[in-house]
Amino acid sequence: LRNEIYGVGFDNVDINEATDIALALMDREHASYVVTPNAEILWMCHKEEKLRKVVNDADMVLPDGIGVVYGAKILKRPLKSKVAGCDFAEKLMDKMQNTGKSVFLFGAKPGVADKAAENLKEKYPGLIISGTNDGYFKDDKPIIEKINSAKPDLLLVCLGVPKQEFWMSENKDKLNAKVMAGLGGSLDVFAGVVERAPAVWQKLGLEWLYRLIKEPKRIKRMSSLPLFLFAVIWQRITGK
């Protein structure tokens, strides 16, 4: 049962539960996919029905952002906690160490996934990284073949929203991978190309502000955050 927030159903789980569910999904025959919408993405889903469907069809939907958690609170459908995509992936890879399970890193600019693999290997020595591929391609057939011969238990799909969500949903049945997770800029973070906000900012729920200061050009995209919150407050007041 999911908590519906502005048209999207979220799994009410903390990071520990989310990673345990992902591990369990790895035992299934077919591929599953996980999405991690933030308020910006919820707003996109509100405007684009196709995206909303793909997001709701995911096997797990995690609230990546304080905006979603606030929205849930306002609507009186509280979610246990924010589960940032990056943190989810790290915790999952940590748990996958020494289990024989492998991860494939797909996305970001050429070289970034390789650098991320290098850093992750150092941080999680017991992790098997079965391959990498950048996220700039015309034809994805060779990439699908590459992934299928690697047979990863976890496939990080970092192509940005909504490309990664559509890609996972479209290719789910062609892929010999167990769990896919659409994680936006996470490979940039793992590679050290993009820095995450310091822990204090994260704790205060101000990661978005830090990101805005670092990348002011995101202001246009981020303007959907207040729009989303107003919409949620309106929904609460009018009951619609």
Cβ closest to ligand UDP, residue 125 vs residue 216: 216
Shortest reach from residue 162's CB to ligand UDP, in Å: 8
CB closer to ligand UDP, 20 vs 140: 140
* Min separation Cβ 171 and ligand UDP, Å: 15
Q: Residues 36-71, buried b or exposed e (16+ Cβ, 10 A)?
A: bbbbbbbbbbbeeeebbebbeebbbbbbbbbbbbbb
Contacting residues toward ligand UDP, per CB under 6 A: 107-109, 135-136, 158-161, 163, 184-185, 187-188
Burial class (CB in 10 A: 0-12, 13-18, 19+), 170: exposed
Closest separation in Å from C-beta 237 to ligand UDP: 30
Give the whole-angstrom CA distance, residue 116 versus residue 40: 26
**Locus of tokens 């159903």:** 9
What is the number of the residue whose Cβ is closest to ligand UDP? 135
Q: Whole-number minimum distance, CB 134 to ligand UDP, in Å?
A: 7
Residue 23 or 181 with smaller CB distance to ligand UDP: 181
Q: How many residues does the chain have?
A: 240
Cβ proximity to ligand UDP: between 131 and 135 the closer is 135
Min CB(125)–ligand UDP separation in Å: 25
23 or 189, CB closer to ligand UDP? 189
Distance CA 86, CA 185 (A): 9
Query: Is the backbone of residue 166 left (phi > 0), alpha (psi -120 to 50) or beta?
Result: alpha
Residue 218 CB, nearest approach to ligand UDP (Å): 8
Nearer to ligand UDP, 5 or 84 (CB): 84
Q: Distance (Å, rounded) from C-alpha 183 to C-alpha 190? A: 11
Q: Which long-range contacts (CB under 8 A, 24 or more apart) does 89-92 make?
A: 89/156, 89/181, 89/183, 89/186, 91/15, 91/16, 91/19, 92/19, 92/22, 92/23, 92/154, 92/181
Which one, 59 or 64, has the nearer CB to ligand UDP? 64
Least distance to ligand UDP, CB of residue 24, Å: 25
